[in-house]
Structure 1
Amino acid sequence: MHVRKAVSADAQELSSLLNEIILAGGTTALETPLSAAEFADWFIDGEFPLVCHVAEHDRMLVGFQSLSSYGDPPRGYADIATFARLTPKFPGVGRALFPATRAAAEELGLEFINATIRADNVSGLAYYAKMGFEPYDRLVQVPLLDGTPVDRIKRRFKVSVSPHT
């Protein structure tokens, strides 16, 4: 698996990957599919994306991970989003992406990476725990588009800033 920075030309394939996850439901707070242009704006080259990395396997994009300043996070924080292809599945996508994201967070001088995960997203909660994210807050009963209330668990990762920054 090869990890690299995302480029605008990746938006079509990545929006398809994300839309499959959105339509499957149950793991992402995103509930409305995105066009390729919306995807590029949200995750690659819009106002809020800080960095986005993709994982490739045999020229297929199998996942992506982004850092964003959307929603005006506290100073020194950025939000992370991680998505891996549902079909076919490729184990280890998130683990492969995180070192590049962590290095980018250090370069950006971030103190924390924030992950806000649906409480019913068991695999997402397990992934961020394995990556060293610690729980620090909970948003209670956030309604989905259909009105179903689902808690959001907030976890953060302390970025170790190198001595020369």
Structure 2
Amino acid sequence: MHIRKAVSADAEELSGLLNEIIRAGGTTALETPLSPAEFADWFIDGEFALVCHVAEHDRSLVGFQSLSLYGDPPKGYADIATFARVNSKIRGIGSTLFPSTRVAADALGFEFINATIRADNVSGLAYYAKMGFETYDRLVQIPLLDGTPVDRIKKRFRIAAEHQTAHHA
């Protein structure tokens, strides 16, 4: 698996990957499929997009992870989104992407990476816990488009803590 920065030419394949996840339902707060142009704006080169990395395997994009300021996060925070192809047989896509995202967040001067995960997204909650994110808030009963209320769990990863550990090692 090869990790690289996303470019606008990736938007078509990545929007297809994301739209499969949206159509499957249950794991993302996104409920409306995105066109390639909307995808590029949200994740690659739009006003709120900071950086997006892709995971390539056998000349196919199998996942991506982005940092953005979408949703107006608190000062010092960047928001993370992680997606892997629905029927991928490849394990560890998110874990392989995270080091590049973490380095980018540090280089951009952020103190925290925020992840907001649906409470019913068991695999997403487990992934972010495994990456070292800690729960710090809960948004209660946020309705989906069909009106179903679902809590959102807010987790954060402290970038500075890693520096302190590295300097004392």
Could you say which TM-score interval applies, normalised by the shorter chain?
A: over 0.9
Q: TM-score, normalised by structure 1?
A: 0.96
User: Which whole-Å CA distance do the structure 2 matches of 1:90 and 1:66 have between them?
Assistant: 19
Match of 2:24 in 1: 24
Tell me, yes or no, if structure 1 residue 105 matches structure 2 residue 105: yes
1:127-163 deviations in Å (ceiling 9; x for gaps): 0000000000000000000000000000000012759
**Where in structure 2 are the equivalents of 1:1-165 lying within 5 Å?**
1-160=1-160
CA contact (8 A) 1:114 1:157 kept: yes
Q: Which runs of 5+ in 2 are unaligned?
A: 165-169
User: Which whole-Å CA distance do the structure 1 matches of 2:89 and 2:61 have between them?
Assistant: 11
Deviation at 1:90, TM superposition (A): 1.7
Cα RMSD, aligned residues only: 1.1
CA contact (8 A) 1:106 1:162 kept: no
User: Which whole-Å CA distance do the structure 1 matches of 2:89 and 2:39 have between them?
Assistant: 21
3-state SS in 2 of match to 1:38: helix
Deviating 4+ runs (over 4 angstroms): none
1:70-107 deviations in Å (ceiling 9; x for gaps): 11111100100000001233211000000000000010
User: Which whole-Å CA distance do the structure 2 matches of 1:124 and 1:79 have between them?
Assistant: 15
The one-letter code of the counterpart of 2:2 is: H
User: Which whole-Å CA distance do the structure 1 matches of 2:89 and 2:127 have between them?
Assistant: 15
Worse overlay, 79-88 or 1-10: 79-88
The structure richer in helix per residue is 2
User: Which whole-Å CA distance do the structure 2 matches of 1:133 and 1:71 have between them?
Assistant: 19
User: Which whole-Å CA distance do the structure 1 matches of 2:88 and 2:152 have between them?
Assistant: 28
Q: Which runs of 5+ in 1 are unaligned?
A: none
Q: TM-score, normalised by structure 2?
A: 0.94
Worse overlay, 83-92 or 9-18: 83-92
3-state SS in 2 of match to 1:10: helix
The one-letter code of the counterpart of 1:118 is: R
User: Which whole-Å CA distance do the structure 2 matches of 1:136 and 1:23 have between them?
Assistant: 29
How many residues were matched structurally? 163
